[in-house]
Amino acid sequence: MDAPNHPTITTKGVLRPTLVTVNLERLTQNYRAIQQHVGNSRVMPVLKANAYGHGLVEVARHMAGLGAPMLGVAFLEEGILLREHGIQMPILVMGGILGDQIPLFLEHDLGLAASSVEKLAQVDQAAEARGVRARVHLKIDTGMERIGVHYYSAEALFEASLACKHTDIEGVFSHFANADAADLSSARLQIERFEEALRFYERRSLPTPMRHMANSGAVLQLPESHYELVRPGILLYGVYPSNEVKRTIEVKPALRWTSRVVYFKVVKPGHPVSYGSTWESDHLVRMVTIPVGYGDGYFRAMSNRAEVLLGGKRYPVVGRICMDQFMVNIEWDSAYNGDEVVLVGESGDMRITVEDLANWADTIPYEILTNINTRVPRVYVRSGE
């Protein structure tokens, strides 16, 4: 239905009715709760994958304002983008690197992960050629089998680092495979392996570089892994990394995802809805169309499973989710073009969480957040705005 006097909705210049609203005060509260929990360990916010869907540059600026000591990203391009937007604080790129990328790391003063003797030598040579000092964190594989030198072969990498003349070894790190599980035996084995490798420095009577290993799950469950630095990712944004993890820190979601009704119609019984005709009603119903779809990251796998909030009530998504639109069955309730529809967040006393979407899509909350497409505008507010 069209409401005759319903206003056109615009938010800070955003014309698209579908948007993500990020509450910066929630991010502040989450960051401080994590910092309080880990005590003397420093907190490095992880901002990879567009800050888990929250917006890389704006979240980086906010974290800088909170006094975060450094930022973590996955790719060189993320680090360069932050530099181009004036972020001057230390940035560590944690992913694997190619040799021809090294000059760009040095040009933009980005910390990089050296995961082999050969890569470390390339970094040192490139730094010499440019007349600068490289900033490196040595990556040790203790059980992920992803990147990093194996813990039992780490001595060669440590030896090579001592010979570098143009490289500062700022840290040594590893990554957990199962720190968000109920059974922490695998994670504790990884800690043992990490510390076994690090005894190299003790045997040589050398100072150990800054150690870091704790992701969100380990921040919550493994205080023995906090070392000098922790690396919270999804936890910073107010989402817990798994259903099994102990919730030793209270965090709250910073992201709200909404859209608006753009079409209203009455659908007769026996008239299927959307591609594939996977849903139809056996009675007369009212249907509304929402201008968001799998092209925005609202997964097609949630078809006929997801729910949304409209006017403080839950309604089912029916028919297959399209690239740019989906349909909602409101039975015989009323709705108007322009009415807010909540995909993630609260409406009245009702709430839909990122975990709900993950369950409907048979995936994990990480994938839901990081797949909210960049064509969905981000709006930043503080509590009360």
Cα–Cα nearest to 292, from 335, 249, 262, 336: 262
pLDDT single digits (tens) 9-22: 334 555 789 999 99
- The residue annotated as part of the active site, out of 152, 246, 265, 275, is 275
SS3 274: coil
Checking if the pLDDT of 67 tops 70, the result is: yes
Domains belonging to the chain, first-starting first, are 40-237 (3.20.20.10), 255-381 (2.40.37.10)
Structure token digits, residue 282: 């056996």
Reply yes or no on whether 275 is catalytic: yes
Tens digit of each residue's pLDDT (9 = 90 or more) over 150-163 = 999 999 999 999 99
The answer to whether 48 is a known catalytic residue is: yes
Buried b (16+ CB within 10 A) or exposed e, 227-247: bebbbbbbbbbbbbbbeebee
Per the CB < 8 A criterion, the answer to whether 44 and 210 are in contact is no
323 near 294, Cβ under 8 Å? yes
pLDDT tens figures, 238-295: 999 999 999 999 999 999 999 999 999 999 999 999 999 999 999 999 999 999 999 9
Instruction: Give the predicted TM-score (pTM) of the model.
Output: 0.93
Which is it for strands 91-93 and 111-114: parallel, antiparallel or unpaired?
parallel
Give phi and psi for 150, each to the nearest 5.
-60, 145
Catalytic one of 12, 31, 48, 268: 48
Share of the chain above pLDDT 70, in %: 96
Categorize the per-residue pLDDT at 368 as very low, low, confident or very high, splitting at 50, 70 and 90: very high
Q: In whole numbers, what is the pLDDT of the chain averaged over residues? A: 95
